[in-house]
A = this chain, B = another copy of it.
Amino acid sequence: METYSIFKDLAIIIIFAKFFGILARKCKAPQVVGEIIAGLLIGPSVLHLVEQTEFLNGMAEVGVVLLMFSAGLDTDLKELLKTGPVAFLIACCGVLVPLVGGSLLYMGFYGAAPWGSEKFYTAVFVGVIMTATSVSITVASLREMGKLKGKIGTTITSAAIIDDVIGIIVLTFVVGFRSPGSNPGRVVLSTFLFFVMALVVGYILFRIFQGIDDRYPHTRRIPIISLALCFFFAYAAEKYFGIADITGAYVAGIILCSMRDSSYVEQKMEVSSYMIFGPVFFASIGLKTNIDNVDGSILLFSIGFVIVALLTKIIGCGLMAKLCRFRLMDSLKIGVGMMTRGEVALIVAQKGLSVGLLSPVYFTSVILLIIVSSISTPILLKLLYAKDRGGESL
Protein backbone atom coordinates (compact mmCIF):
# COMPACT_ATOMS: atom_id res chain seq x y z
CA MET A 1 0.00 0.00 0.00
CA GLU A 2 1.24 3.45 -0.88
CA THR A 3 1.76 5.79 2.06
CA TYR A 4 -0.34 8.55 0.54
CA SER A 5 -3.50 6.43 0.61
CA ILE A 6 -3.74 7.09 4.35
CA PHE A 7 -4.85 10.59 3.37
CA LYS A 8 -7.78 9.25 1.38
CA ASP A 9 -8.87 7.18 4.40
CA LEU A 10 -8.46 10.09 6.80
CA ALA A 11 -10.28 12.55 4.54
CA ILE A 12 -13.23 10.19 4.07
CA ILE A 13 -13.43 9.36 7.77
CA ILE A 14 -13.29 13.00 8.84
CA ILE A 15 -15.89 14.17 6.31
CA PHE A 16 -18.35 11.33 6.95
CA ALA A 17 -17.89 11.41 10.71
CA LYS A 18 -18.41 15.17 10.82
CA PHE A 19 -21.41 15.08 8.50
CA PHE A 20 -23.19 12.28 10.36
CA GLY A 21 -22.16 13.76 13.68
CA ILE A 22 -23.90 17.03 12.81
CA LEU A 23 -26.88 15.08 11.43
CA ALA A 24 -27.11 13.08 14.67
CA ARG A 25 -27.10 16.28 16.69
CA LYS A 26 -29.85 17.71 14.51
CA CYS A 27 -31.88 14.57 15.36
CA LYS A 28 -31.15 15.28 19.04
CA ALA A 29 -28.90 12.21 19.27
CA PRO A 30 -25.29 12.49 20.50
CA GLN A 31 -22.64 13.17 17.92
CA VAL A 32 -20.70 9.95 18.57
CA VAL A 33 -23.68 7.91 17.32
CA GLY A 34 -23.37 9.69 14.00
CA GLU A 35 -19.65 8.99 13.92
CA ILE A 36 -20.14 5.26 14.56
CA ILE A 37 -22.81 5.09 11.85
CA ALA A 38 -20.42 6.91 9.52
CA GLY A 39 -17.87 4.16 10.17
CA LEU A 40 -20.45 1.47 9.41
CA LEU A 41 -21.40 3.21 6.17
CA ILE A 42 -17.89 3.71 4.78
CA GLY A 43 -16.71 0.29 5.98
CA PRO A 44 -16.96 -3.22 4.51
CA SER A 45 -20.66 -3.51 5.42
CA VAL A 46 -21.95 -0.89 2.99
CA LEU A 47 -19.80 1.38 0.84
CA HIS A 48 -16.36 -0.31 1.02
CA LEU A 49 -14.64 3.09 0.92
CA VAL A 50 -12.17 2.55 3.74
CA GLU A 51 -10.47 -0.60 4.92
CA GLN A 52 -8.91 -1.30 8.28
CA THR A 53 -5.15 -0.81 8.24
CA GLU A 54 -2.44 -1.03 10.85
CA PHE A 55 -2.16 2.75 10.65
CA LEU A 56 -5.88 3.37 11.22
CA ASN A 57 -5.94 0.85 14.07
CA GLY A 58 -3.07 2.73 15.67
CA MET A 59 -4.81 6.07 15.19
CA ALA A 60 -8.02 4.66 16.70
CA GLU A 61 -6.07 3.30 19.66
CA VAL A 62 -4.46 6.70 20.21
CA GLY A 63 -7.97 8.15 19.95
CA VAL A 64 -9.46 6.03 22.71
CA VAL A 65 -6.41 6.52 24.91
CA LEU A 66 -6.63 10.31 24.50
CA LEU A 67 -10.33 10.13 25.32
CA MET A 68 -9.68 8.27 28.56
CA PHE A 69 -6.76 10.54 29.43
CA SER A 70 -9.05 13.56 29.02
CA ALA A 71 -11.66 11.87 31.18
CA GLY A 72 -9.01 11.34 33.85
CA LEU A 73 -7.83 14.95 33.60
CA ASP A 74 -11.42 16.08 33.94
CA THR A 75 -11.90 14.11 37.15
CA ASP A 76 -12.79 15.78 40.38
CA LEU A 77 -10.43 13.86 42.69
CA LYS A 78 -12.44 14.55 45.84
CA GLU A 79 -15.58 13.30 44.13
CA LEU A 80 -13.73 10.18 42.96
CA LEU A 81 -12.53 9.31 46.46
CA LYS A 82 -16.05 9.89 47.76
CA THR A 83 -17.65 7.69 45.08
CA GLY A 84 -14.90 5.03 45.17
CA PRO A 85 -16.47 2.49 47.55
CA VAL A 86 -19.89 2.81 45.94
CA ALA A 87 -18.34 2.47 42.48
CA PHE A 88 -16.63 -0.71 43.65
CA LEU A 89 -19.91 -2.27 44.73
CA ILE A 90 -21.62 -1.23 41.50
CA ALA A 91 -18.78 -2.70 39.45
CA CYS A 92 -18.90 -6.04 41.33
CA CYS A 93 -22.61 -6.36 40.79
CA GLY A 94 -22.16 -5.21 37.16
CA VAL A 95 -19.76 -8.11 36.59
CA LEU A 96 -21.64 -10.80 38.49
CA VAL A 97 -25.11 -10.36 36.97
CA PRO A 98 -24.00 -10.42 33.30
CA LEU A 99 -21.67 -13.35 34.05
CA VAL A 100 -24.56 -15.42 35.35
CA GLY A 101 -26.98 -14.07 32.75
CA GLY A 102 -24.66 -14.87 29.84
CA SER A 103 -24.02 -18.42 31.08
CA LEU A 104 -27.74 -19.06 31.50
CA LEU A 105 -28.47 -17.65 28.04
CA TYR A 106 -26.02 -20.09 26.46
CA MET A 107 -27.49 -23.01 28.37
CA GLY A 108 -30.98 -21.85 27.44
CA PHE A 109 -30.05 -21.96 23.76
CA TYR A 110 -27.87 -25.07 23.70
CA GLY A 111 -29.07 -27.07 26.75
CA ALA A 112 -27.84 -27.28 30.33
CA ALA A 113 -24.22 -28.27 30.93
CA PRO A 114 -22.87 -30.22 33.90
CA TRP A 115 -20.41 -28.45 36.18
CA GLY A 116 -16.83 -28.67 34.89
CA SER A 117 -17.71 -29.94 31.41
CA GLU A 118 -16.42 -28.38 28.19
CA LYS A 119 -19.84 -26.94 27.46
CA PHE A 120 -20.02 -25.50 30.96
CA TYR A 121 -16.84 -23.52 30.42
CA THR A 122 -18.07 -22.26 27.09
CA ALA A 123 -21.30 -21.10 28.75
CA VAL A 124 -19.33 -19.32 31.48
CA PHE A 125 -17.12 -17.78 28.84
CA VAL A 126 -20.12 -16.29 27.04
CA GLY A 127 -20.92 -14.72 30.40
CA VAL A 128 -17.35 -13.45 30.76
CA ILE A 129 -17.60 -11.65 27.41
CA MET A 130 -20.61 -9.78 28.76
CA THR A 131 -18.77 -8.47 31.83
CA ALA A 132 -16.45 -5.92 30.25
CA THR A 133 -17.86 -2.41 30.28
CA SER A 134 -16.30 -0.03 27.78
CA VAL A 135 -16.81 3.40 29.15
CA SER A 136 -15.34 5.55 26.36
CA ILE A 137 -18.64 6.07 24.52
CA THR A 138 -20.41 6.91 27.77
CA VAL A 139 -17.62 9.31 28.69
CA ALA A 140 -17.90 11.03 25.32
CA SER A 141 -21.69 11.31 25.63
CA LEU A 142 -21.61 12.61 29.20
CA ARG A 143 -18.97 15.14 28.22
CA GLU A 144 -21.08 16.31 25.28
CA MET A 145 -23.93 16.91 27.73
CA GLY A 146 -21.62 18.53 30.29
CA LYS A 147 -22.40 15.80 32.84
CA LEU A 148 -19.02 14.07 33.10
CA LYS A 149 -17.86 15.84 36.25
CA GLY A 150 -21.03 15.25 38.26
CA LYS A 151 -21.58 12.54 40.83
CA ILE A 152 -23.19 10.21 38.28
CA GLY A 153 -20.43 10.76 35.72
CA THR A 154 -17.67 10.12 38.23
CA THR A 155 -19.44 7.05 39.61
CA ILE A 156 -19.89 5.56 36.14
CA THR A 157 -16.32 6.26 35.09
CA SER A 158 -14.71 4.85 38.21
CA ALA A 159 -17.10 1.88 38.30
CA ALA A 160 -16.22 1.11 34.69
CA ILE A 161 -12.51 1.21 35.48
CA ILE A 162 -12.98 -1.13 38.44
CA ASP A 163 -15.27 -3.30 36.29
CA ASP A 164 -12.49 -3.53 33.72
CA VAL A 165 -10.05 -4.77 36.33
CA ILE A 166 -12.51 -7.27 37.82
CA GLY A 167 -13.41 -8.44 34.32
CA ILE A 168 -9.76 -9.14 33.58
CA ILE A 169 -9.38 -11.08 36.84
CA VAL A 170 -12.48 -13.17 36.05
CA LEU A 171 -11.23 -13.83 32.53
CA THR A 172 -7.90 -14.98 33.85
CA PHE A 173 -9.58 -17.27 36.37
CA VAL A 174 -11.79 -18.90 33.72
CA VAL A 175 -8.93 -19.27 31.28
CA GLY A 176 -6.75 -20.45 34.13
CA PHE A 177 -8.97 -23.47 34.70
CA ARG A 178 -8.35 -24.54 31.13
CA SER A 179 -4.78 -23.53 30.38
CA PRO A 180 -2.18 -24.05 33.07
CA GLY A 181 -0.10 -21.23 31.55
CA SER A 182 -1.93 -18.35 33.18
CA ASN A 183 -1.89 -17.83 36.90
CA PRO A 184 -4.92 -16.16 38.51
CA GLY A 185 -3.02 -15.38 41.69
CA ARG A 186 -0.39 -13.53 39.70
CA VAL A 187 -3.08 -11.49 37.93
CA VAL A 188 -4.54 -10.32 41.23
CA LEU A 189 -1.04 -9.50 42.45
CA SER A 190 -0.04 -7.55 39.34
CA THR A 191 -3.30 -5.62 39.39
CA PHE A 192 -2.64 -4.73 43.00
CA LEU A 193 0.94 -3.75 42.13
CA PHE A 194 -0.27 -1.55 39.29
CA PHE A 195 -2.41 0.53 41.60
CA VAL A 196 0.36 0.73 44.20
CA MET A 197 2.77 1.84 41.46
CA ALA A 198 0.19 4.34 40.18
CA LEU A 199 -0.19 5.74 43.68
CA VAL A 200 3.53 6.05 44.45
CA VAL A 201 4.85 7.01 41.00
CA GLY A 202 1.75 9.11 40.48
CA TYR A 203 2.36 11.16 43.60
CA ILE A 204 6.01 11.75 42.72
CA LEU A 205 5.12 12.66 39.14
CA PHE A 206 2.37 14.96 40.33
CA ARG A 207 4.88 16.90 42.47
CA ILE A 208 7.32 17.11 39.53
CA PHE A 209 4.62 18.29 37.11
CA GLN A 210 3.33 20.77 39.67
CA GLY A 211 6.90 22.09 39.96
CA ILE A 212 7.36 22.46 36.19
CA ASP A 213 3.92 24.03 35.97
CA ASP A 214 4.79 26.59 38.64
CA ARG A 215 8.01 27.56 36.88
CA TYR A 216 6.64 27.63 33.34
CA PRO A 217 2.85 28.06 33.54
CA HIS A 218 0.87 27.81 30.32
CA THR A 219 3.84 26.80 28.19
CA ARG A 220 3.66 24.11 25.56
CA ARG A 221 5.93 21.80 27.47
CA ILE A 222 3.28 21.03 30.08
CA PRO A 223 0.77 19.44 27.67
CA ILE A 224 3.56 17.73 25.73
CA ILE A 225 5.12 16.04 28.75
CA SER A 226 1.64 15.21 30.03
CA LEU A 227 0.89 13.49 26.74
CA ALA A 228 4.11 11.49 27.03
CA LEU A 229 3.11 10.46 30.55
CA CYS A 230 -0.30 9.35 29.27
CA PHE A 231 1.31 7.21 26.56
CA PHE A 232 3.83 5.79 29.01
CA PHE A 233 1.12 4.78 31.48
CA ALA A 234 -1.00 3.27 28.69
CA TYR A 235 1.98 1.19 27.61
CA ALA A 236 3.22 0.21 31.06
CA ALA A 237 -0.26 -0.80 32.27
CA GLU A 238 -0.71 -3.29 29.46
CA LYS A 239 2.89 -4.42 29.09
CA TYR A 240 3.95 -4.92 32.69
CA PHE A 241 0.66 -5.36 34.57
CA GLY A 242 -1.67 -6.88 31.97
CA ILE A 243 -4.18 -4.06 32.47
CA ALA A 244 -5.89 -2.34 29.52
CA ASP A 245 -4.00 0.61 28.03
CA ILE A 246 -7.08 2.80 28.37
CA THR A 247 -7.08 2.17 32.12
CA GLY A 248 -3.45 3.28 32.27
CA ALA A 249 -4.28 6.46 30.36
CA TYR A 250 -7.21 7.18 32.67
CA VAL A 251 -4.99 6.76 35.73
CA ALA A 252 -2.41 9.09 34.17
CA GLY A 253 -5.17 11.65 33.75
CA ILE A 254 -6.22 11.27 37.38
CA ILE A 255 -2.62 11.79 38.50
CA LEU A 256 -2.54 15.14 36.72
CA CYS A 257 -6.13 16.22 37.39
CA SER A 258 -5.24 18.29 40.44
CA MET A 259 -2.41 20.11 38.66
CA ARG A 260 -3.06 23.83 38.35
CA ASP A 261 -2.87 23.74 34.53
CA SER A 262 -4.91 20.56 34.09
CA SER A 263 -7.68 22.30 32.19
CA TYR A 264 -5.05 23.92 29.93
CA VAL A 265 -3.61 20.47 29.19
CA GLU A 266 -7.06 19.03 28.60
CA GLN A 267 -7.93 21.83 26.23
CA LYS A 268 -4.85 21.03 24.10
CA MET A 269 -5.63 17.30 24.17
CA GLU A 270 -9.17 17.99 23.10
CA VAL A 271 -8.08 19.76 19.91
CA SER A 272 -6.15 16.72 18.66
CA SER A 273 -8.96 14.52 19.88
CA TYR A 274 -11.87 16.15 18.09
CA MET A 275 -9.91 17.12 15.00
CA ILE A 276 -8.59 13.72 14.05
CA PHE A 277 -8.14 10.95 16.62
CA GLY A 278 -11.70 10.96 17.98
CA PRO A 279 -13.49 10.62 14.63
CA VAL A 280 -11.08 7.85 13.62
CA PHE A 281 -11.75 5.93 16.83
CA PHE A 282 -15.54 6.11 16.63
CA ALA A 283 -15.60 5.39 12.91
CA SER A 284 -13.28 2.41 13.44
CA ILE A 285 -15.95 0.65 15.53
CA GLY A 286 -18.14 0.63 12.45
CA LEU A 287 -15.18 -0.17 10.20
CA LYS A 288 -14.46 -3.39 12.11
CA THR A 289 -17.91 -4.69 11.31
CA ASN A 290 -18.86 -6.83 8.36
CA ILE A 291 -22.54 -7.77 8.43
CA ASP A 292 -22.32 -9.99 5.34
CA ASN A 293 -21.67 -13.36 6.99
CA VAL A 294 -24.61 -13.59 9.39
CA ASP A 295 -27.19 -16.43 9.18
CA GLY A 296 -30.53 -17.02 10.90
CA SER A 297 -29.60 -19.07 13.96
CA ILE A 298 -26.58 -16.91 14.77
CA LEU A 299 -28.75 -13.85 14.36
CA LEU A 300 -31.29 -15.24 16.83
CA PHE A 301 -28.61 -16.08 19.39
CA SER A 302 -27.01 -12.69 18.81
CA ILE A 303 -30.26 -10.85 19.47
CA GLY A 304 -30.69 -12.79 22.72
CA PHE A 305 -27.05 -12.12 23.56
CA VAL A 306 -27.46 -8.37 23.05
CA ILE A 307 -30.68 -8.17 25.06
CA VAL A 308 -29.28 -10.19 27.96
CA ALA A 309 -25.99 -8.28 27.93
CA LEU A 310 -27.71 -4.90 28.06
CA LEU A 311 -30.38 -5.83 30.60
CA THR A 312 -28.01 -7.61 32.99
CA LYS A 313 -25.74 -4.55 33.15
CA ILE A 314 -28.66 -2.19 33.70
CA ILE A 315 -30.14 -4.47 36.35
CA GLY A 316 -26.84 -5.35 38.02
CA CYS A 317 -25.42 -1.83 38.19
CA GLY A 318 -28.73 -0.05 38.55
CA LEU A 319 -29.91 -2.25 41.39
CA MET A 320 -26.69 -1.85 43.33
CA ALA A 321 -26.79 1.91 42.72
CA LYS A 322 -30.34 1.98 44.10
CA LEU A 323 -29.20 -0.06 47.11
CA CYS A 324 -26.43 2.53 47.59
CA ARG A 325 -29.16 5.14 47.92
CA PHE A 326 -29.05 6.72 44.49
CA ARG A 327 -32.39 8.05 43.23
CA LEU A 328 -34.20 5.65 40.89
CA MET A 329 -33.59 7.92 37.87
CA ASP A 330 -29.89 8.23 38.72
CA SER A 331 -29.60 4.46 39.24
CA LEU A 332 -31.05 4.00 35.79
CA LYS A 333 -28.54 6.47 34.34
CA ILE A 334 -25.70 4.53 35.98
CA GLY A 335 -27.06 1.21 34.68
CA VAL A 336 -27.41 2.58 31.15
CA GLY A 337 -24.03 4.31 31.33
CA MET A 338 -22.40 0.99 32.26
CA MET A 339 -24.03 -1.06 29.52
CA THR A 340 -21.72 0.00 26.67
CA ARG A 341 -19.31 -2.61 25.42
CA GLY A 342 -16.26 -1.97 23.29
CA GLU A 343 -13.01 -3.43 22.16
CA VAL A 344 -12.43 -5.15 25.53
CA ALA A 345 -15.34 -7.49 24.76
CA LEU A 346 -13.69 -8.27 21.43
CA ILE A 347 -10.37 -8.89 23.12
CA VAL A 348 -12.03 -11.28 25.58
CA ALA A 349 -13.77 -13.10 22.72
CA GLN A 350 -10.42 -13.32 20.92
CA LYS A 351 -8.90 -14.85 24.04
CA GLY A 352 -11.72 -17.41 24.20
CA LEU A 353 -11.09 -18.30 20.60
CA SER A 354 -7.37 -18.78 21.17
CA VAL A 355 -7.85 -21.15 24.13
CA GLY A 356 -10.52 -23.10 22.22
CA LEU A 357 -13.49 -22.17 24.40
CA LEU A 358 -15.34 -20.24 21.72
CA SER A 359 -16.15 -20.62 18.04
CA PRO A 360 -15.51 -17.67 15.70
CA VAL A 361 -19.21 -17.30 14.86
CA TYR A 362 -19.80 -15.67 18.24
CA PHE A 363 -17.81 -12.68 17.08
CA THR A 364 -20.92 -11.54 15.24
CA SER A 365 -22.80 -11.46 18.53
CA VAL A 366 -20.03 -9.48 20.20
CA ILE A 367 -19.84 -6.96 17.36
CA LEU A 368 -23.62 -6.58 17.31
CA LEU A 369 -23.52 -5.95 21.05
CA ILE A 370 -20.82 -3.31 20.62
CA ILE A 371 -22.75 -1.53 17.89
CA VAL A 372 -26.17 -1.69 19.54
CA SER A 373 -24.81 -0.62 22.91
CA SER A 374 -22.60 2.10 21.40
CA ILE A 375 -25.54 3.59 19.55
CA SER A 376 -28.26 3.09 22.14
CA THR A 377 -26.36 4.15 25.26
CA PRO A 378 -25.79 7.76 24.18
CA ILE A 379 -29.40 8.07 22.98
CA LEU A 380 -30.84 6.58 26.17
CA LEU A 381 -28.54 8.66 28.38
CA LYS A 382 -29.62 11.80 26.60
CA LEU A 383 -33.29 10.87 26.99
CA LEU A 384 -32.83 10.08 30.68
CA TYR A 385 -31.07 13.37 31.33
CA ALA A 386 -33.68 15.26 29.33
CA LYS A 387 -36.52 13.67 31.32
CA ASP A 388 -34.74 14.41 34.54
CA ARG A 389 -33.88 18.04 33.84
CA GLY A 390 -32.72 19.79 36.96
CA GLY A 391 -33.29 16.73 39.10
CA GLU A 392 -29.73 15.45 39.31
CA SER A 393 -28.14 15.51 42.72
CA LEU A 394 -24.70 16.92 41.95
Contacts and interface: CB of A to CB of B under 8 A. Distances in A.
A5 interface: yes
A227 interface: yes
A148 B362 CA distance: 57
Contact of A14 (B4, B228, B269): B228
A186 interface: no
A22 interface: yes
Contact of A275 (B7, B14, B224): B224
Contacts of A18: 221, 224-225, 228
Q: How many copies does the complex hold?
A: 2
A18 B222 CA distance: 11
A61 interface: yes
Interface stretch (A190-198, A231-239, A321-329, A368-376): A231-239
A65 interface: yes
Nearest to A267: B271
A233 to B, nearest CB: 8
Given A6-B62, A22-B221, A58-B6, A235 B271 contact: no
19 contacts: A3-B57, A3-B61, A6-B58, A6-B62, A7-B62, A7-B235, A7-B245, A8-B231, A8-B239, A11-B229, A11-B231, A11-B232, A14-B227, A14-B231, A15-B225, A53-B54, A54-B55, A223-B275, A271-B272
Nearest to A58: B55
Indicate the member of A14, A221, A234 with the most B CB atoms within 10 Å.
A14
A177 interface: no
A234 B271 contact: no
A77 interface: no
Contact of A276 (B22, B227, B232): B227
A interface, size bucket: 35 or more
Given A18-B224, A272-B275, 13 more contacts: A3-B57, A4-B235, A7-B65, A7-B231, A7-B245, A8-B231, A8-B232, A11-B232, A18-B228, A55-B58, A58-B59, A223-B275, A272-B276
List the 4 shortest-distance A-B pairs measured between CB atoms, nearest first: A55-B58, A11-B231, A7-B235, A271-B271
A235 B224 CA distance: 29
Contacts of A61: 3-4, 6-7
A110 interface: no
A224 B4 CA distance: 19
A224 B15 CA distance: 8
A274 interface: yes
Contact of A58 (B14, B58, B228, B279): B58
Contacts of A218: none
Interface string A215-259: 000001101110111011011001100000100000000000000
B4 A238 contact: yes
Interface in A87-106: none
Interface string A1-35: 01111111011001100100010000000000000
A11 B54 CA distance: 19
Contacts of A221: 18, 22
A57 B157 CA distance: 34
